[in-house]
Chain A
Amino acid sequence: MNWRSPREITLRTWQLPPRFGFWWALLLVAVLIGVWSGLYTVPSDSAGIVQRFGEYIKEVPPGLHIKIPFGVDRATIVPVKRQLKQEFGFETPGAMDPYQGSRDADRETQMVTGDLNSALVEWVVQYRIAEPLKFLFQIRDPRMTLRDVSESVMREVVGDRTVDEVITIGRQEIEVDALTKMQALAAKYELGVSIDQVQLKNVNPPKPVQESFNEVNQAQQEKEKLINEARRQYNKVIPLAEGERDQRIREAEGYRLKRVNEAEGDVARFSAVLAEYLKAPEVTRRRIYLETMQQVLPMLRSKIILDEQGRQILPLLQLDSEKAGKP
């Protein structure tokens, strides 16, 4: 048939019996629908799994592809390269994936620890669909299964730890431990996903207990404070005392120097004078005596000079030097 000219088509349709034209139009529409529905695109982060009459035939890479239409071939798009995550105990609003957020956050976070305490744990599992065939055909509802696995494993891991480990010191170990156990279970259930990471988010003691946990922190701070205060007092006193000690010792050393130097000075002077004295002892002695007297006597308030014979007048003298001496 020659369909090239639209005018020719109308001409022919108009000329042919109406029934005949109707069949051709129907066929044309069917072919168009067939081609249209046979085309499909696989996005760049995904892979297409093609089934013919339900049987898996191939996996196709990203791009435009064609399949046999009318239910013979079916293509399922699986986002194999996309990093997916599941949240437990909380929910980031606006998630596209219905399996991402928490179903029943309260129940999910409540956990019993290995010392029979209670803790509230929130965590995130990062995963990718690594084997789309297993993901689609081996297990029904793999994402829900992953959620169950994750919850079960996290409780198992937390159940093997004390509340202190869960809340503070053992977080990293829990992440590592949970990751390996989840990976093992995912492989066992043939989920077809690869779990890349388990991250603990908020981990808290239950609400009614939180205050007493804070009290412990406060007490810890208080302890530090008391110790620091005592250290402050120590540091305030001891270095000063050490300094004062050194000061006193140095002063004593100064005294020693002074004492020795003075002694040596005195002795030097004495020796010098002695040398001269030895040359003329009598005269020198007299001279020193008289010089001293000359120096000393003028300072006296009163001098009484008695003769040997006039000794008896001594009692008659008014010795009021004490009274008169006072101003």
Chain B
Amino acid sequence: MSAIRSVVVMVLALIAASTLMNSFYTVNEIEQVVITQFGKPVGAPVTTAGLKMKLPFIQVVNPIDKRILEWDGSPTDMPTKDKLYVSVDMFARWRITDPLPYFLRMRDERSAQSRLDDILGSETRNSVAKHELIEIIRTTKDRVPLQDTSLKNANNVVGMLLPIQKGREAVEREIFAAAAPKVGVFGIELLDIRFKRIDYNQSVRPKIYDRMVSERRQIAEQFRSEGNGEAARINGNRERDLQKIQSEAYRRVEEIRGEADAKATEIYSKAYNQSPEAVNFYEFTRTMEAYKSIITTNTTLVLSTDSDLFRFLKGITGKDSPPVDLRR
């Protein structure tokens, strides 16, 4: 009797406990909740966190993420307007702002992701096909690149950025503007869509590399020619400076020697020309000096007894006459 009673009490307590447990639910900070009653949403979605109450068993809790969610597109090859095949990888951030339509039309995130794949993927394709590659590579329209000073006069292709009309950010905004309303109907707010990677397709790469190689070769060639040119210039300078120095030296030397000779001449003539006696004496002494060097051991001298030296050979009185002959 008491055993049956206690079993009944225990069963009732269990039922009461599970009913109580089932009428409470928690909402995390990161989620919002749609309550459904027999599959049909009832009441407004619960967006605040904490312990909440509901009808037990009849109502079901459907948690939906409240955070900013990711969408990471897979890399896809697509052509640009200038017929270059590039592999484009996008990413977007989105948020479920309106849980009811989202819950009704998507049920779960997997279908939402695949819907985003479709919409964002096709908008990306559209936009990329409408623009040239450079438009989705570059961003700032009038950016002036830094240039290697040694390459400054290379030519106008190397070290320059290609001009753009819109730029990457504008294209991203275009894609965003086209896609945002399309996903809006699902209760999804698209926050942002950006290019993550844009890369040359495998088939395009060799051509790009070839171009880079030729560009580099051209720069290398320029360096070499600059080197040779500069060296030639320096050699020219060397030759010029050398000639200048040597001719200067010659000029200066001749000037100095001329000065010296002039000065010496002036000194001599001043002294020798001071009086007729001086002229006479100079002539005499100089002639004597000259004899000393002109008459050497190999000379035969024929002298007359009329000469001043030998006139006394003829007689003591002598006669006044110069030497007769002088031969070498």
Contact = CB atoms under 8 A, between A and B. Distances in A.
A117 B220 contact: no
B146 A301 contact: no
Nearest to A265: B267
Interface string A304-323: 11111000001000010110
Contact of B303 (A111, A289, A306): A306
Given A53-B51, A209-B212, A110 B197 contact: yes
A156 B245 contact: no
Contacts of B42: none
A248 B209 CA distance: 63
A141 B30 CA distance: 12
Contact of A223 (B145, B162, B230, B256): B230
A266 B268 contact: yes
A36 interface: no
Contacts of A225: 227
Contacts of A53: 26-27, 49-51
B163 to A, nearest CB: 10
Contact of A306 (B213, B263, B296, B304): B304
Contacts of B268: 263, 266-267
A274 B277 contact: yes
B14 to A, nearest CB: 17
B29 A54 contact: yes
Interface in B294-314: 295-306, 308-310, 313-314
Given A155-B195, A165-B146, A267-B268, A255 B256 contact: yes
Contacts of B278: 274
Interface in A254-273: 255-260, 262-264, 266-267, 270-271, 273
Given A190-B68, A263-B264, A301-B298, A137 B309 contact: no
A187 interface: no
A182 to B, nearest CB: 12
B300 A319 contact: yes
B241 A238 contact: yes
Interface stretch (A79-87, A92-100, A143-151): A143-151
17 contacts: A52-B51, A55-B26, A55-B48, A55-B50, A112-B137, A139-B67, A140-B67, A160-B140, A160-B143, A189-B93, A227-B227, A227-B230, A234-B235, A245-B252, A246-B249, A289-B284, A321-B299
In the A-B complex, the 6 residue pairs with the closest CB atoms: A223-B227, A256-B260, A245-B249, A54-B28, A219-B220, A230-B234
Interface of A: 51-56, 107-108, 110-118, 136-141, 144-145, 148, 151-152, 155-156, 159-165, 168-170, 173, 188-190, 205-206, 208-209, 212-213, 215-216, 218-220, 222-227, 229-231, 233-234, 237-238, 241-242, 244-246, 248-249, 251-253, 255-260, 262-264, 266-267, 270-271, 273-274, 277-278, 281, 285-286, 288-290, 292-293, 295-297, 299-308, 314, 319, 321-322, 325
